[in-house]
Amino acid sequence: MVMQKVDIAVVDYGMGNLRSVSQAVEHVASGKSVVVTSDAEIINNAERVIFPGQGAMPDCMRELEARGLRDVIINVAANKPFFGICIGMQLLFEHSEEGDTLGFGLLKGNVERFDAKKMFDVKGEKLKVPHMGWNQVFQTKSHPLWSGVADATRFYHVHSYYAAPQDNMVSAGETEYPNRFTSAVARDNIFATQFHVEKSAQAGLQLLANFINWKP
């Protein structure tokens, strides 16, 4: 039996905003096949892959292992257009302070927790952790996925941990809370965001539309 070629695979590993992500993708993927799946073969054969994320990094890695998807995701993230969202960005790095968890190591650097002792805005007001809400993303390099998205556009964030890349060249966007941190990364066939594109209205849809048409 010949497997049907899927244009976009949204990885189902038991976590993540699967419904909202798939609906957002379908909204901008006219004429493309979009499948939410945990099937390794479908993911491997898809033209491009979206890895949504929500929850804790240790749980995420455990669920991937349980489904036999860890090596599959590492392979597709190294070889085809790959979009990671939230935890889907963090796991690309070597290590996370959350549960002392090893990541995929596709990008050099670590994932660190916001330091509660340093979380004050310019007025001295205490900032909450997790970081929740709409914040500006400052584009740190030009990239096809930023096409049609103005610099300093607001995107929706929900997280207590942030990526600290070893190489600033992989950073594609930064957010201030209260200091600047990397909120988008890009290298070769990989683009990933700490913020939730599926919850970020028109700007998020524009990023997804750009990804669907991206030829890295």
Which are the catalytic amino acids?
Answer: 86, 196, 198
Amino acid in position 202: Q
Amino acid in position 65: E
Q: Please tell me what DSSP assigns to residue 81.
A: -
Q: 3-state DSSP call for residue 177?
A: coil
What phi and psi values does residue 30 have, to the nearest 5 degrees?
-55, 125
Structure tokens at 70: 């860890």
For 45-75, give the DSSP string: HSSEEEE---S-HHHHHHHHHHTT-HHHHHH
Q: Rounded to an integer, what distance in angstroms lies between the CA atom of residue 51 and that of residue 183?
A: 16
Quick check: 164 and 109 in contact, CB under 8 A? yes
Quick check: 196 and 156 in contact, CB under 8 A? yes
Q: Rounded to an integer, what distance in angstroms lies between the CA atom of residue 83 and that of residue 81?
A: 7
